[in-house]
Amino acid sequence: MELNRIESDLLKLLADEWDEAGPPGYVETAVIAAHLKISVAIAKSAIQSLFEKGLVDTDRVDTFAAYLTAEGYTLARKM
């Protein structure tokens, strides 16, 4: 599966949260953007792309946050 740098970094961030706080690694979109030093719009775009690949899931209200699927966690830890 082909991922760009932002998608890879986002998966790793969510996997770190999964390890620290427990599954599913729930992180608000604004926090993702700040941590990755990108805009919220770019973070939402990356979340959407990973959602379409089945690697993350998200709340249904304006992509307020994202969290990993089991497949996303496994892939993040292989990187």
Digit-coded pLDDT (tens) for 18-61: 999 999 888 999 999 999 999 999 999 999 999 999 999 887 76
Smallest CA-to-CA distance from 38 within 1, 3, 77, 5 is with 5
H or E element, residue 51: helix 40-52
Look at residue 61 in the predicted model and tell me its pLDDT.
63
Angle at 77 between CA 48 and CA 40, to 5 degrees: 30
Of the candidate ranges 12-16, 56-60, 75-79, the one whose mean pLDDT is the lowest: 56-60
What is the number of domains present in the chain?
A: 1
Q: What is the CATH number of the domain that holds 54?
A: 1.10.10.10
What element of type H or E holds 6?
Answer: helix 5-21
Summarised one tens digit per residue, pLDDT across range 52-64 is: 999 998 877 666 7
The parent domain of residue 51 ranges over 5-78
